[in-house]
Chains A and B, each alone.
Chain A
Amino acid sequence: MKILVPVKRVLDYNIKARPKADGTGVELAGLKMSMNPFDEIAMEAALRLKEAGQATEIVAVSCGPAANQETLRTALALGADRAVLVQCEGELEPLAVAKLLRAVTLREQPGLVLCGKQAIDDDANQTGQMLSALMGWAQATFASRIELQGASEALVTREIDGGLETLSIRLPAVITTDLRLNEPRYATLPNIMKAKKKPLDTLTPADLGVDTAPHLKLVQVFEPPQRQGGIRVSDVAELVGKLKNEAKVI
Chain B
Amino acid sequence: MTLLVVAEHDNHNLKASVRHVLTAAQALGGEIHVLVAGCGCEAVAEAARALPGVACVRWAEDASLGDGGAENLALLVTRIAREYSHVLAAASAFGKNWAPRAAAQLDVAQISDIVRVDAPDTFTRPIYAGSVWATYRSTDPVKVITVRPTAFDAAPGEGAPAPLERLDAEPGSGLSSRKDLSLSPSERPELESARVVVSGGRGLGSGERFKALLEPLADKLNAALGASRAAVDSGYVPNDYQVGQTGKVVAPDLYIAVGISGAIQHLAGMKSSRVIVAINKDPDAPIFSVADYGLVGDLNEIVPQLTAAL
Q: Chain A: residues with CB nearer than 8 A to chain B?
A: 11, 16-19, 26, 38, 93-95, 98, 117-118, 120-127, 129-134, 137-142, 144, 155, 157-170, 173, 178-180, 214-224, 227, 229-237, 239-240, 242-243, 247, 249-250
CB of B131 within 8 A of CB of A159, answer no
Write the chain A residue with the least CB distance to B302.
A236
Q: Chain B: residues with CB nearer than 8 A to chain A?
A: 69-71, 74, 92-94, 96-105, 107-113, 118, 122, 126-140, 173-184, 190, 192, 196, 221, 229, 232-233, 238-240, 245-246, 248, 253-254, 264, 271, 274-277, 288-296, 302, 305-306, 309-310
CB-defined contacts of A93 to chain B, threshold 8 Å: 109
CB-defined contacts of A124 to chain B, threshold 8 Å: 100, 110, 112
CB of B309 within 8 A of CB of A240, answer yes
Interchain CA distance A12-B123 in the complex, whole Å = 26
Tell me how far the C-beta of B259 lies from the nearest C-beta in chain A, rounded to whole angstroms: 16
Q: Pull 7 A–B residue pairs with CB atoms less than 8 Å apart, ordered by A.
A: A94-B109, A95-B104, A123-B126, A162-B184, A167-B69, A217-B138, A222-B134
Interchain CA distance A130-B310 in the complex, whole Å = 49
CB of A129 within 8 A of CB of B275, answer no
* B101 partner, pick from A118, A132, A164, beta carbons under 8 A: A132
* B293 partner, pick from A16, A218, A242, beta carbons under 8 A: A242
Chain A contact surface mostly: mixed
Interchain CA distance A61-B238 in the complex, whole Å = 33
CB of B245 within 8 A of CB of A120, answer yes
Tell me how far the C-beta of B230 lies from the nearest C-beta in chain A, rounded to whole angstroms: 11
The answer to whether A138 and B126 touch (CB under 8 A), given A126-B103, A180-B233, is: no
**Lowest 6 CB-CB distances: which A-B pairs, in order?**
A17-B128, A230-B292, A138-B175, A126-B100, A130-B104, A215-B109
CB of B306 within 8 A of CB of A236, answer yes
Residue of A16, A162, A179, A242 with most partner-chain B CB within 10 A: A162
The answer to whether A239 and B306 touch (CB under 8 A), given A17-B128, A18-B132, A230-B291, is: yes
Interchain CA distance A250-B174 in the complex, whole Å = 51
Write the chain A residue with the least CB distance to B255.
A249
Interchain CA distance A131-B136 in the complex, whole Å = 22
